[in-house]
Amino acid sequence: MTSKVTYLGDLRTKSIHVQSGNEIISDAPLDNNGKGEAFSPTDTVANALASCMMTIMGIKARDMNLDIANSTADVTKIMNAEPRRIGAIEIVFEMKGTNDEKNKTILERAAMTCPVFLSLNTEIEKRITFNWK
């Protein structure tokens, strides 16, 4: 088992990662009858994409003896109304660790192989930008 999800009432859930015991609270968003006081389930999907891409780049960077620590990603989730679903995910990466064009290309291509990227419905538009510092 990966996680255990408990409905807390009032459109809120608590998810516990079984292996680590870490916890995530989710709340329905304001535009869907919720309070918007925590990540919504669809927020976590968009966030998972950025986190996964960053992790895959981190693995590749480590293999290349590069340090991309303190790189960041700004994530924007865009919902479609009918049917209500994620229509697009925009991620702007602010990357550190290399000025070499070949290294940048390798890391960017690696990011696009992350399991979340490959698992998301192809109808979800993925707008990915890499800014290297």
Q: What pLDDT score does 55 carry? A: 98
Q: Are residues 60 and 92 in the same domain?
A: yes
Q: What pLDDT score does 7 carry? A: 98
Q: Which residue has 């809120």 as its token pair?
A: 12
Q: What pLDDT score does 6 carry? A: 98
Centroid of chain to Cα 34: 22
Range of the domain at 21: 1-39
Q: What pLDDT score does 8 carry? A: 98
DSSP category for residue 52? H
Contact 96, 69 (CB under 8 A): yes
Q: Which residues pair with 108 in a beta bridge?
A: none
Which amino acid makes up residue 25?
I
Q: What pLDDT score does 122 carry? A: 96
Contact 95, 71 (CB under 8 A): yes
Sign of dihedral through CA atoms 81, 9, 46, 114?
negative
Q: Are residues 33 and 44 in the same domain?
A: no
Q: Are residues 26 and 56 in the same domain?
A: no
Q: Are residues 25 and 89 in the same domain?
A: no
Q: What is the CATH number of the domain that holds 122?
A: 3.30.300.20
Q: Are residues 17 and 66 in the same domain?
A: no
Q: Are residues 74 and 120 in the same domain?
A: yes
Q: What pLDDT score does 89 carry? A: 98
Q: What is the pLDDT along the chain (133 residues), one digit of tens a residue?
A: 999 999 999 999 999 999 999 999 999 999 999 999 999 999 999 999 999 999 999 999 999 999 999 999 999 999 999 999 999 999 999 999 999 999 999 999 999 999 999 999 999 999 999 999 8
Question: Which structure tokens are listed for 2?
Answer: 């990966």
- Of the candidates 68, 41, 80, 64, the one whose C-alpha atom is nearest the C-alpha of residue 130 is 68
Q: Are residues 65 and 121 in the same domain?
A: yes
